[in-house]
Amino acid sequence: MENIVLNNKLECPVVGIGTFMLAPADAENSVREALKMGYRLVDTANAYVNERAVGRGIRESGVDRKEVFLSTKLWPSEYENENAVDETLERLGVDYVDLLYIHQPAGNWLTGYRQLEKAYKEGKAKSIGISNFEGKYIEELETKWDVVPQFIQVEAHPYFTQTELRKTLDKYDIKLMSWYPLGHGDKSLINEPVFAELGKKYGKSPAQVILHQWTF
């Protein structure tokens, strides 16, 4: 599977499995089977309440931990909890995560970001990121970070291109990881004629065309 190189030289797979809204049993099964199929990026969060199940799914897959790019997110209520990172690792059953985000610019989010930086420097997070940050929050963080984030995770797709945000990200080689890359679950985006035409031209499905352009 194709990888991209982050601004700290770490490699990350371009396609992965997300576990938002998956009950623990479903998350465990989905992660296990996805890894067996060849997926190597797994995304979860404190707020999904399935981190223990995700960890079990990884272990049950038989795939070496070093081959899995594991991503999770600290919830705002944990930003001021000095044990939040260690507790997250304990739930996942791992010594480190490959990517650690703060989930939202809410509460004392700068303290949350300092937790990410500390985890990064201690080797508990191989890369760090921000989720759902836009506009004034990014401008503020830009003046205060000690470690430049490797990722931002936000909604992005052909109906919501994030053009201005991408200009800021390009300055620091921060990668954009899209959620809702295929839109909000309806078929309007997938059925846009332009993607069918491009798919026919390159021998790909409309979804593959969209994901190639907008996932990162």
Residues assigned a catalytic role: 48
Q: Is the separation of the CB atoms in 86 and 51 below 8 Å?
A: no
Residue 216 CA to its chain's centroid (Å): 10
Q: Rounded to whole angstroms, how far apart are CA atoms 175 and 178?
A: 10
List, in sequence order, every residue forming a beta bridge with 43; answer none if it has no partner: 18, 71
Q: Rounded to whole angstroms, how far apart are CA atoms 140 and 165?
A: 14
Classify 54 as helix, strand or coil: helix
Residue type at 75 in one-letter notation: W
> In angstroms, what CA-CA distances link 172 with 28, 141, 176, 195?
35, 13, 12, 30
H-type helices in 48-108, by residue range?
51-61, 84-92
Q: Which residue has the tokens 């809204």?
A: 21
Q: Is the separation of the CB atoms in 103 and 132 below 8 Å?
A: yes
